[in-house]
Amino acid sequence: MNASSPRTVVGVRFRNAGRIFYFDSAGMRLEAGEYVVVETARGPEVGRVVIAPDQVVVNELGDEPLQPVLRLATEADIRRSEELHRKAQEVLREARDLARDLQFGGHLDAAEFSLDGKRLTISYSAEERLDHRELGRALAERFGVRVELRPIGARDRAKIVGGYGICGRELCCASWLATFPSISIRMAKNQDLPLTPEKISGLCGRLLCCLSYEDEVYQEMRRTLPKVGQRCSTPTGEARVVAVNVLRREVTLAIHGQNVTVGDRDLGLIVRWDPSAKTAEPPPPLSPEEAVALGLVRSPEEFPRWPPSSRTAVEGPAYGRLPRTIRPTLVEEPPPFEPAVVLPAQGEPKPAPKARKFVRSGDTTPGAPPPAAVAPSATPQPAQPAKPQAQAQPSKQQAQPKGKRRRGRRKRR
């Protein structure tokens, strides 16, 4: 291969969304979309050109020797490739029955013949490493060809089987994704996604490949926003970040016992923070003149303002769209209303108590005065002057209903 010529290497793909392999074009002028016959480790195969020779940077391939392109694929080669593909599907069903009889622990996912029909490659998936030598010998005796069993992972299996994801579109790995990116749970956290496996896992049971598509954008946007728990300075005092919306570039602050949502326009002007640490002392808020001097706004009129509120505690112009209110003063609630108790004066007859539900008519002595009780009154009455006579002593007849009432209460219980 002439490494100095940019027209000696061609990119070939053997299946849809498969890996691209590079071959020596052997001086042939090939175009993207043409079918060629190439020599591989499994024998001759038919592939489709996806990268023309003049589009391959030879310096990035290294000095390793490349297999040559044998020839352009003819109609007979393409028809034979299609027939071998249909035959491989029939062989796969028989191979699964044989694997079930041998109690093979893996699942046979795909089968593929080489162009000459002398080699059969079967891909299988398993949760653990298995010994497939017995199955390989049985398959070789059954079909009379050389059999190669190749283990694959869960993502490769989803790529071969295909399907539709939670977005409603065909799986990326089966439609256009040639290689699998590296995915971590940190990507889901950066995008504020729910960390439930059903939400962030694909059909393969692994993390969604699409988590890596926008991860760099989210990381770049988060660098310009405060973190949750960050201390910030505002015209109304110091606040703390309780929530961050990365896509809308909105920050929710907790200040004076209330939550305030601040837009992108106020960040860096009205709301300021120290990006070095969440607990660092935030810088003081800017005035319009300072913002102009730092180049954040072109004129003081562009500095965002907030109309003064009737509850504003600080005099002067209020900048920004934050409510410049102080913490409301806590007003002590009046004690609960308790009705006043009026005691009868000395020598004055006590008011009759209200009838109780548990007192029966037979519990009181006929002709005896009712027992003394204190009647609640909502309005206090002035005490009358005491009469100059001896205090009346309760008689035995007056005390008798009280005892009977107690006996009736025990009997009631």
**Spatial contact of 66 and 56, defined as CB atoms under 8 Å apart:** no
**Is 182 inside any structural domain?**
yes
What is each CA distance from 256 to 1, 97, 242, 268, 335, in whole angstroms? 74, 71, 13, 20, 27
* Residue 266 pLDDT: 85
Range of the domain at 166: 160-220
* Residue 186 pLDDT: 93
* Residue 340 pLDDT: 53
Least confident of 42-46, 291-295, 365-369: 365-369
Q: Is 172 helix (H, G, I), strand (E, B) or coil?
A: helix
**Residue 145 belongs to domain with CATH number:** 3.30.300.20
**Is 343 inside any structural domain?**
no
Between CA 51 and CA 21 the distance in angstroms is 10
Q: Out of 58, 73, 88, pick the residue that ends a domain.
A: 73
Are 146 and 92 in a shared domain? Answer: yes
What is each CA distance from 314 to 22, 149, 317, 331, in whole angstroms? 72, 79, 9, 21
**Is 130 inside any structural domain?**
yes
Are 15 and 67 in a shared domain? Answer: yes
pLDDT at 341 over 90: no
- DSSP 8-state symbol, 321: S
pTM of the model: 0.63
In which band, very low, low, confident or very high, does the pLDDT at 346 lie, cut at 50, 70 and 90?
low
- pLDDT digits 0-9 by tens, 234-289: 888 889 999 999 999 999 999 888 898 988 888 888 888 998 888 888 988 788 88
**Is 345 inside any structural domain?**
no
Between CA 99 and CA 105 the distance in angstroms is 8
Are 60 and 91 in a shared domain? Answer: no
* Residue 1 pLDDT: 44
Q: Out of 302, 337, 366, pick the residue that ends a domain.
A: 302
Could you give the number of structural domains in the chain?
A: 4
Are 294 and 229 in a shared domain? Answer: yes
Measuring CA to CA, which residue among 144, 138, 143, 180 is closest to residue 159?
180
**Is 412 inside any structural domain?**
no
Residue 195 CB contacts under 8 Å (≥ 6 apart), including other chains: 185, 188, 189
Least confident of 194-203, 207-216, 243-252, 286-295: 286-295
pLDDT at 314 over 50: no
Are 101 and 138 in a shared domain? Answer: yes
Are 199 and 230 in a shared domain? Answer: no
Can you tell me the mean pLDDT for 378-388?
51
In which band, very low, low, confident or very high, does the pLDDT at 392 lie, cut at 50, 70 and 90?
very low
**Is 32 inside any structural domain?**
yes
**Is 381 inside any structural domain?**
no
**Is 387 inside any structural domain?**
no
CA 300 to chain centre: 41
DSSP string, 255-284: ETTEEEEE-TTTBTTTBEE-TT-TTSPPPP
Are 147 and 167 in a shared domain? Answer: no
Are 33 and 96 in a shared domain? Answer: no
* Residue 188 pLDDT: 94
Are 244 and 288 in a shared domain? Answer: yes
* Residue 318 pLDDT: 45
Q: Which residues of 165-177 are buried (b: 16+ CB within 10 A; e: fewer)?
A: beeeeebbbbeee
Q: Out of 253, 270, 302, pick the residue that ends a domain.
A: 302
Are 171 and 238 in a shared domain? Answer: no
